[in-house]
Structure 1
Amino acid sequence: MKHLRMAVLATVTVMLAACATDDPNRRAKTGAVIGGVAGAVLGNNVSHATGAPIVGAVIGALAGGAVGNYMDRQKAELNRQLAEEQRNNELQITQLSDGSLKVGIASDVSFDLNSAQLRPEALDTYAKIGSILKSYDKTVIHVVGHTDTTGSDEYNLRLSASRAASVASYLASQGVPSQRMRQEGRGEREPLVRTGDNVNEPRNRRVDIVIKPVVEGQEQQAWAPPPYLGG
C-alpha cells in the first residue's frame, strides 16, 4: 500500500505540472487531478452528477462528539467576519437540520444581470468566506447556484451552474482546496419565496455555500449533495 501511495503521489505531481500553464481554468483542473487520481488510493468522494460514491480527496475527519463544537465555532467566526454583510441583507447564515452551515448570498450582490462573472465589489466578501473555509478544513463545501423563473428552465440551469462555478473558482484562488468543493446549479427549482402568480421574486436569485462536516465513519455523507434549499 505504501508503494502504491508513492506511485499515486508521483503521478499527481506530473499531472499538476501539466496543469500549470496559462490555462485560466487550471485551478479547477488541478482539483480534478487531485480528487480523481490521488483519491483513487487515499479517500472517497461522490459523483457530481448522481451522488454515487466515487474516489475523491483526503480531508481530515472529526470524531462524532467534536462535530457540534467545531461547527458552532465556525458559525461564530462567519457571523463575526460577515456581520456587515448580514446587516445590509446581502447574505444570511443559517444552520441546517443536519448540522451543516449555509451561507446564502444574494445574486445581485455577486453578479450583474445575466452574468456569471463575480462583481469586483463582491470579492472582499468571498475572500472573507474563503479565509474561514481554509481555517476550518474538516469540511466539504457545496456551492449551489439558484435563479428566479425569468427565462427558460434550460437557461436558468446553465446560468446557476456557471455562477456556482465562478464562486468555487474564486474560493480556490483564495486558497480553498478545489478538492474540498463540489458545485452545482439548481436553476429555478428551489425558490426561497413562492408566489401564486409566478412573480420572479428577486430573493430566489442566490448562491448558497453549504458547509458539511466530515465525520469519522460517515465521511461519504459530507460529499452527498445538500438537501432541498428552498423555502
Structure 2
Amino acid sequence: MKRVMLLMVAAGLTFTGCATTPDDPNRHTKEKAAVGATIGAIAGAVIGHQQDRSGGALRGALIGGAAGGLLGAGVGRYMDNQEAEFKRVLEEERRANQIEVERLQNENLKITMNSEVSFDYNSAQLKPAFNNTLDKVADILNRYPRTTIKITGHTDSRGSTAYNQNLSEQRANAVGWYLADRGVDSRRVIADGRGELQPRATNDTEAGRQLNRRVEMLIVPDRDIQ
C-alpha cells in the first residue's frame, strides 16, 4: 500500500507541475487539466493496484491521469471560450455596470444583471430596453449548449419577506422564460428566488440596496466535455 501511495503522490506532482500566470488566457484550461489529471492518476493507481500488484498501479496512474487531463482541459477550454464570448459581446453593458461576468473557481460562470436596468420598481416585467442584452446572452447560451443555467432573483430588504421572495422568483422566471423564447432549451434552465436572504451589500444605503436588487445566472458546464 505504501508503494501505491508513493505513486499517487508522484503522479499528482507530475501532472500539477504545469505553470500558469494570472494573465494567461488559457489559465483555467491548464489548471483544470492538471486537476483532472491528478484525480485520474489517483483513481487509476488505486484500480491498477487492485487488479495487478506488479506494476498495475503505475500503469493505472498514467492512463487515469491522461484521461482525467483530457476531460479537465475540455471543460476548462469550453468555459474559457464562453467566458471570452460573454465579455466581448457584453462589453458595453459591463462598462455601464449593467451586467457582470465572473468566472468562479469551479469553472462555473456567473452573470449578474442589475435590476435597475432590467425591471421597473416592484415589477417582474422585463424592460423592453433590456431585451437586446438578453438576446445577446441567449445567443451565446445557444452556441454553448453543454451547460445548465441556474437563474436566481434577489431583492433588497424593503417590504415584507414574503413579498420580496415572491418578487425575486417572478423576476428569475421572467428571465428564464425570455431565454426559452429565444431558443434556449427550457430543460437547461432552473429558476429560483432568494428574496432578501442573500444580500451582497448593506441594505442601510440606497447604493447598497441597488446592488442587492439583481438577477444572477449561474452557468454550470457538463463534466464530460472533451
TM-score interval, smaller chain: 0.5 to 0.7
Amino acid of the residue matched to residue 108 of structure 1? E
What is the CA distance between 1:108 and its match in structure 2?
A: 1.0
Scaled by the length of structure 2, what TM-score is found?
0.66
**Cα offsets for 1:191-211 (capped at 9, x unmatched):** 11135x476621100000110
Scaled by the length of structure 1, what TM-score is found?
0.64
Candidates 155, 159, 166, aligned match of 2:167: 159
SS in 2 for 1:201: helix
CA contact (8 A) 2:98 2:117 kept: yes
CA contact (8 A) 1:71 1:99 kept: yes
SS in 1 for 2:134: helix
| Greater Rg over alpha carbons, structure | 2
2:139 is aligned to 131
- Alpha-carbon distance in structure 1 between the residues aligned to 2:205 and 2:101: 27
**Cα offsets for 1:81-102 (capped at 9, x unmatched):** 0000001110110012211000
- Alpha-carbon distance in structure 1 between the residues aligned to 2:177 and 2:105: 28
1:84 is aligned to 92
1:185 is aligned to 193
| 2:160 is aligned with 1:149 | no
Amino acid of the residue matched to residue 99 of structure 2? L
Structure richer in helix, relative to its length: 2
In structure 1, the gaps of 5 or more residues are 1-61, 218-231
1:209 is aligned to 217
Give structure 1 regions of 4+ aligned residues with deviation exceeding 4 angstroms.
197-200
**Cα offsets for 1:168-196 (capped at 9, x unmatched):** 0000010000001000001111111135x
Amino acid of the residue matched to residue 186 of structure 1? R
- Alpha-carbon distance in structure 1 between the residues aligned to 2:100 and 2:194: 19
2:120 is aligned to 112
Q: How does 1:38-57 map to 2 (within 5 A)?
A: none
CA contact (8 A) 2:75 2:224 kept: no
- Alpha-carbon distance in structure 2 between the residues aligned to 1:65 and 1:128: 26
Amino acid of the residue matched to residue 166 of structure 1? A
SS in 1 for 2:219: strand
- Alpha-carbon distance in structure 1 between the residues aligned to 2:205 and 2:88: 36
Amino acid of the residue matched to residue 204 of structure 1? N
Candidates 96, 103, 107, aligned match of 1:95: 103
Candidates 198, 202, 218, aligned match of 1:194: 202
What is the CA distance between 1:65 and its match in structure 2?
A: 2.8
CA contact (8 A) 1:145 1:208 kept: yes
**Cα offsets for 1:94-137 (capped at 9, x unmatched):** 01221100010000111001100100000000000000000000
CA contact (8 A) 1:149 1:198 kept: no
SS in 2 for 1:63: helix
In structure 2, the gaps of 5 or more residues are 1-69
Q: With a CA cutoff of 8 Å and minimum separation of 6, indicate the structure with the bigger relative contact order.
A: 1
SS in 1 for 2:75: helix
CA contact (8 A) 1:144 1:209 kept: yes
2:71 is aligned to 63
